[in-house]
Amino acid sequence: MASSFRPSISSFMLPSLSSCNPSQKFSLFHLGSGIRRFHNFGLKPSKFLRHDDDNCMRAKASGNTSSIAAPENALDWVKHDKRKMLHVVYRVGDLDKTIKFYTECLGMKVLRQRDMQEQRHTNAFLGYGPEDAHFAVELTYNYGIDKYDIGDGFGHFGLAVDDISRIVELVRAKGGKITREPMLVKGGNSVNAFIEDPDGYQFELLERAPSPEPLCKVMLRVCDLDRSIKFYEKAFGMELLRTQDYPESKKTIAILGYGPEEKSTVLELTYNYGVTKYDKGDAYAQFLYVHRLQLLQMMCTKLAKQLNLQEGRLLGNLDQYLT
């Protein structure tokens, strides 16, 4: 029997443009599943979206329009939206111990903390400034779990420091692990070192002049560099800043981001020659992007609720990292 479902216009009446503000918001959304839901029920995203000259979109149905930020083509919003990397999420076995290491050794500050008793986990957000202006880390402690498998897909975080020797000695004095002493980077004149936090996550210390974004990099290993680059360009509007091949180390890296590498947090993708599979483990969770155009998510969520469907999963890339 054919479905007689027909969404009401009122269900898509969202706040007007005048009520919107430029503050950035984040969303976790499986974009692909959301688009499919419109088509599965004979609905085209373009029927509800109209592009305006003010670089915003409006939800529409049967001639009635409600102003809201959004693009005519459901995927074009990636090109026009102002975005940044928001924070990275990963799991730790001892929250207090990890917080102490990050604050005392790496100079981070606790930005906020929340205890989700019903979900049996606690989150702590740390960084070097307000979340709306700086990249941050979100530590997740799940009640009763004191150890995770990091796997070999996640690489490391990059941390820009102005005195690498001082940080290394501080980490050493606090009982931290130095996995590589300060040394000149091959083929360059910069100095780096590697340290390990209490849960085994690696941090690359990069000696630089004072940076507006100290937490400057997230490195992930991928199996198909070209396809991964295209994914982050098309799905998240990231710009390919540079690529570099290291034949002696049998690897190629690609740096992507939303601004200059020396002033913002970037994503480093590493392809190791011939490696076609990585163990993702269960420790690294995902990283989040922040954006202002959220109509597509809101509309799909409303539609899913009307149809009593489960909300979309997090968006997964080619290497199955959640974003």
Can you give the pLDDT at residue 284? 76
Tokens of 138: 């979100």
CA angle 215, 216, 219 (to 5 degrees): 105
204 is an annotated ligand-binding site residue: yes
Does 59 or 93 have the greater pLDDT score? 93
Mean pLDDT over the full length of the chain: 75
Pairing of strands 215-221, 266-272: parallel
Q: What are the boundaries of each domain within the chain?
A: 85-290
Averaged pLDDT, 5-14: 34
AA identity, residue 239: E
Q: How far is CA 93 from CA 98, 117, 267, 284, 290, in A?
A: 8, 17, 25, 12, 27
pLDDT number for residue 183: 94
Q: Considering the candidates 104, 204, 207, 213, report the single residue annotated as catalytic.
A: 204
At residue 110, φ and ψ (nearest 5 deg) are -75, 115
Task: Tell me whether residue 138 is annotated as binding.
Answer: yes
Q: Which class is domain 85-290?
A: alpha beta
**Is 169 an annotated catalytic residue?**
no
Distance between CA 190 and CA 303 in Å, rounded? Answer: 52
d(CA 80, CA 60) in angstroms, rounded, equals: 20
pLDDT in tens, 180-231: 999 998 777 889 999 999 999 999 999 998 889 999 999 999 999 999 999 9
How many other β-carbons are positioned within 10 Å of the β-carbon of residue 21?
8
pLDDT, tens digit, 9 for 90 and up, residues 111-140:
999 999 999 999 999 999 998 889 999 999
pLDDT given at position 248: 93
Q: What is the pLDDT of residue 85?
A: 87
Q: Check the annotation: does 134 bind a ligand.
A: no
pLDDT of 51 over the 50 cut: no
Q: What is the mean pLDDT of residues 81-99?
A: 89
Q: What is the mean pLDDT of residues 86-97?
A: 94
